[in-house]
Structure 1
């Protein structure tokens, strides 16, 4: 069997992250320092696409910056709200990013709480192939049915505007037009999102006369626009299947990483690695963006992640002789196009996966990691997933065309399901 290394240059469905989220100070720490300033807003004035959220000074208002313009909501002496546009202000903590260009995604449905809003944002973004492993600034533009917001007020008598026993002023909004400006992050809890949410959101009215922190939200969102930084990583697949159980080929749809997560059960480095490998491979095999799931046979290494990726994206099934799970020396997948026999083997280049992950994985598969070590392994795998997403496939994988490859029917071995070994492990109790 002759093996020929494929030299390939492809247009991939990946793009470079433009908006890096940064922060100064932390939400959970600012009270411990007496709300001491951690950043001056004017240090960010150079960013024409600045988006930022945080409290003003010593809890004297709410800073909301968008499109490079600061809008700081404050409470006036008569308990009304006002907005000032000043750069020469400080913040005890601030989360911010520079976004050069936004892209729009349509929203649909009604939400009855901030928690439901978070779920809708997550499902909408993942359905559109947006990577949620990295922190993300976002905006929602529209008319909103009901909201409650607040603007913080000073906590100390030596700060102008202090009122004893009061820490914020609340505001009710009905049928209010404007935009929600927020940051989504799975790693920002207690830093720039609250302990029970992946989001930190402010409301800026359409007339720019109100800016405050969002506390409660209920609205129909049909017609609202969700904005995210343009050119974030996208990982999605166009597939072709038959039109019904006895139908013709021709039913086309697009599936994404979120669909794989639902099928597999969780997001992990193996799922990302397998999806990226197959995305690149299918484009080599078909020289086009669509995957004909009726014309594929596939062999996957016996990893739960790789096997599920192979099943879902290729359409291969063991019972029909179009999928097999086998140990593959230095390989992840072998894919064959049934119609003409063209076959490709995909492997990972040496040294790509960090040795620490390999060693800790071996221990985890023997139930030899403590709860805290399991958390550490997850963090390492999440970091590796991000690295895989942002790296060109040609730098990660080796591709070989296997000439005269013959698909052989062999009894299917049974392999241990390693992703459930630690399912009853306890929670890390380290502080």
Structure 2
């Protein structure tokens, strides 16, 4: 199958949607499909062979974050060229309502279109206001996927229609087989995310840290992600700042090693999350998880059975839970085992098969519609199908033979 995938956000700025698309493309290619991904990127960004650049993106505030999007006449021309060169069996657009390549592709594409909705935002006035503009594009979509029940709810409430829920995928074995790093072990809490993006929740964790260190002074916090490190620790007492180690941006391999090394992974995110891929990655690595009780996080953690939850933005609740867990190795081991078992449902072997089933459904449907249209046209203009013509020819031959025999 020839599959075209559209990424709305800049390929050179890491994010959950980009990682999902990257891993989906790799999974489909490994299965023997031909895949091309269209994504914004800077001119000097090294790209995998399956990624086609749609040009440089610009930063735009979106869903409580800053997304780097690509839109305009030049982008539209690149979309049309990519579609023309690709001759895809199916187009898979991510975030088709964002002002980026997905919406441009919806307008330009013909044939089966699958759309995945990642955003969870129950009060999006912008999406409601933009509906008249989006409607024509959305009507061209053959099938809709939402990455969580909360992303599906946002879609239904703002745009109408419905979607099948297929979660983000993870290569579980990649994280499970990573080797722990000795210097990251021993009384460590892990955090991975953009330091200067408040909704990722690092300020909440920093407010909780003094109480954690007062009870367990040997604890260290390992932070991986880009942002202003000095500003991040500014609220901490001077003596406690040495208990925070900033690792900067880490590779995929080091992210897996970090998650395999820590005693506890904390996700203090405060909102704007429709899924929680980092929780799935942490569970895949066997890390016990403590997360804020966002609806999406609670769903991923099976309502607290595969990881513990604390009240969103409550630093004291976070500290109390962390102190209790770090002092209870048996509970940490239990959470690790439960998470490792629960996370199998998010492996690409399952998620990829579900997405392919959607592709096959829409392509089969498109083929049936095309055949019905051809049949209708033939009937309208009095033309017989090939099979009908063959049958008629055979009947004519039989009649001619009979007449010849009589003579």
Larger RCO (CA within 8 A; separation ≥ 6)? 1
Asked if Structure 1 and Structure 2 have the same fold, meaning a TM-score greater than 0.5 normalized by the shorter chain, the answer is no
Which structure has more helix as a fraction of its residues? 2
Q: TM-score, normalised by structure 2?
A: 0.22
More strand by share: 1
Given the two structures, how large is their TM-score scaled by the length of structure 1?
0.21
